[in-house]
Structures are given as C-alpha cells and as structure tokens.
C-alpha cells in the first residue's frame, strides 16, 4: 500500500502563501485590464483616427514624402533634410531641391525682418555640390525661394533657414515677383483668416545651367492644403481647400494671375513623376485629390 506523504508545516505554509500571491496577482491584472482605457479608432471621410496616421518624421511632412527621400549621404539626388521650419528633398545633380514641404500657422507670420544673407546649407554632406550665393550672380535669374521668407517672419532663426541655398532655385524675375508671389500672398491670407496651411513646392525640367552647377528649371509647382487653425490634417473635420499650381519659369508673365496655372493633383503627378499624399490613408488621399479638381 502506498502512503501519502505529508509536507512539513513550514513547507505547507510556504506553498499556501505562494498560491495566495499568484491568485492576488491574477486578480490585479484582471482589474487593470478592465480599468485601462482601450483605444477607439474612428475613421471617416473627414477625420482619421490615430491608428491610421502615418508616422511623421516632422510636422512639415504631413502631406507625405512624394519622392521617398532618405537621409543617407549616398542618396545624392533625393537627399532628405529635416529642418526646424521645413523639410527638403535635395538633388545634388541639379543643385536645387526636388521639393520642399512646410506648415504655416499664424505664429509663423509677423512683421518684416532684416533680410539675412544667402548661405550654403551646412546640413549637406561635404562631398555634395555646395551651391553658393555667387553661383547665381550675373545670371539674370532671381534666387527664388520655395518656402517664402514671409512665411517665417515670426521667427528670425526659421526665417534665416529659408535663405539657405537648398531652399533656392533659379527663377525668372517675372515669375518670382508676380504670379508666384501672388500665390504665396494668397496662402498667407488664408492663414491670417484663421487657418493652417500645409504646402509642398518644387521644380522640374531643365533649360540650361548656371556656371555648370545649377539647373534652371522649366517649371515651378506648388500644392497648398488649408485646414482650420489648430487642427492637423488628420483630425480636421473640414479640409477647406486644396490648390495645385504649375507655373512656367519664363519672362513676360507679370500680368498673369496665379489662377491661370491651376492644375489637378493627378496632372501634377504626371508632369513631375512624383506621387503625392502616398502615405496618407486612402480615403483622405482620394478626398484631397478630388478637392484639387474644384475651382
């Protein structure tokens, strides 16, 4: 006959204590699971939940990274620069940006600042084609801003960033001072009327070189998305306006309105070879593209 063995008293108490501790821990975890708020994801045509948002490297990239730029130094012609007031895809072969993205809020605007000097961008790798102010001298072209200086009058340091040569491209005086400037002013007017504006602007094509170092683009383009101030692109209940323009970099267009150069997002994608809003949720991307068709 086999006889059951009884544990010594101190071991029996230890086992009972361990069981009680384990049971208490399980009850505690169960209670925490009930008390911990569970995430609720709301995805509609006008508001995108947290789970659907892309992971942004910068708030200025809310419209996405249309060329898939990366910050590896070997990526000569699609090199990503994440600045404080803008994000740039730089093209070393062209000596200009492919595109620049930024957000403008009311706090970014202000009174005129003293004009900074144009400077080489120190964020470029040392083996890159470092464009300087003098590369434009005597060319007949303006040093055209992609992010306007006036979009950063609210902060002197951010304004100086717009004068780095990576934000500059050769622009005819007629384009720079007339239809392009008028569209910039229109965008700031939306900001002053209580909106935030997300923009992305760039260049394409070539019609010569400055000192064999800088490609003169045939076209300047820009996309502007306006939402109510304080709401980001994904939580905004209303996207107020989506405007895309593609302007020729030519003389004698002083009297042209910026509206003369409106295009749809689909048309701009064909011309530039870029894919806009690619990282956005499908419903939001399709909504923005549809809004760009409205005049």
Residue 278: name the closest of 65, 78, 70, 86 by CA.
65
What is the reported pLDDT for 55? Answer: 53
- Tally Cβ neighbours within 10 Å of residue 213: 14
What confidence tens digit (pLDDT) does each residue in 224-271 have?
Answer: 999 999 987 887 778 889 999 999 999 999 999 999 999 999 999 999
Average pLDDT taken over every residue of the chain: 85
C-alpha distances in angstroms, 232 versus 46, 61, 66, 218? 12, 12, 19, 33
- Can you give the residue ranges of every domain in the chain? 50-292
Beta-carbon contacts of 192 under 8 Å, excluding residues fewer than 6 positions away, are 106, 109
What is the reported pLDDT for 56? Answer: 63
What confidence tens digit (pLDDT) does each residue in 93-108 have?
Answer: 999 999 999 999 999 9
More confident residue, 158 or 231: 158
What confidence tens digit (pLDDT) does each residue in 40-96 have?
Answer: 222 234 444 443 455 567 999 999 999 999 999 999 999 999 999 999 999 999 999
* Residues acting as catalytic residues: 145
What is the reported pLDDT for 23? Answer: 41
User: What CA–CA distance (Å, rounded) separates 251 from 135?
Assistant: 20
C-alpha distances in angstroms, 30 versus 19, 21, 23, 27, 132? 17, 14, 11, 5, 64
Structure tokens at 170: 């050769």
Is the confidence at residue 160, as pLDDT, over 70? yes
What is the reported pLDDT for 250? Answer: 98
Residue 295: alpha-carbon gap to chain centroid = 24
For the segment(s) 50-292, the CATH number from 3.40.50.300, 3.30.70.890, 3.40.570.10, 3.30.70.100 is 3.40.570.10
* 101, containing H or E segment: strand 96-104
pLDDT mean over 207-223: 97
């Amino acid at each position: 006959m086999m006889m059951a063995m009884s544990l010594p008293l101190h071991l029996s108490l230890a086992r009972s204590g361990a069981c009680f501790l384990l049971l208490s821990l399980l009850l505690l975890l169960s209670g925490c699971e009930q008390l911990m708020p569970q995430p609720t994801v709301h995805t509609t045509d006008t508001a995108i939940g947290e789970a659907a948002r892309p992971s942004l490297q910068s708030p200025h990239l809310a419209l996405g990274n249309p060329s898939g730029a990366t910050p590896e130094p070997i990526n000569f012609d699609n090199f990503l620069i994440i600045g404080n007031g803008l994000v740039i895809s730089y093209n070393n072969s062209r000596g200009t940006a492919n595109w620049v993205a930024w957000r403008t809020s009311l706090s970014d605007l202000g009174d005129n600042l003293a004009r900074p000097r144009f400077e080489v961008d120190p964020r470029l790798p040392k083996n890159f084609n470092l464009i300087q102010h003098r590369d434009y001298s005597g060319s007949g072209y303006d040093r055209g801003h992609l992010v306007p200086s006036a979009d950063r009058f609210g902060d002197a340091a951010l304004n100086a960033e717009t004068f780095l040569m990576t934000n500059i491209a050769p622009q005819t005086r007629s384009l720079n001072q007339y239809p392009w400037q008028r569209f910039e002013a229109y965008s700031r007017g939306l900001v002053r009327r209580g909106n935030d504006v997300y923009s992305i602007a760039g260049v394409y094509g070539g019609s010569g070189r400055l000192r064999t170092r800088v490609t003169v683009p045939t076209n300047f383009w820009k996309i502007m998305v306006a939402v109510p101030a304080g709401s980001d692109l994904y939580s905004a209940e209303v996207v107020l306006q989506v405007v895309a323009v593609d302007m020729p970099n030519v003389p004698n267009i002083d009297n042209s309105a910026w509206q003369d150069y409106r295009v749809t997002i689909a048309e701009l994608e064909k011309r530039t070879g870029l894919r806009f809003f690619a990282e956005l949720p499908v419903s939001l991307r399709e909504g923005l593209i549809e809004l760009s068709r409205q005049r």
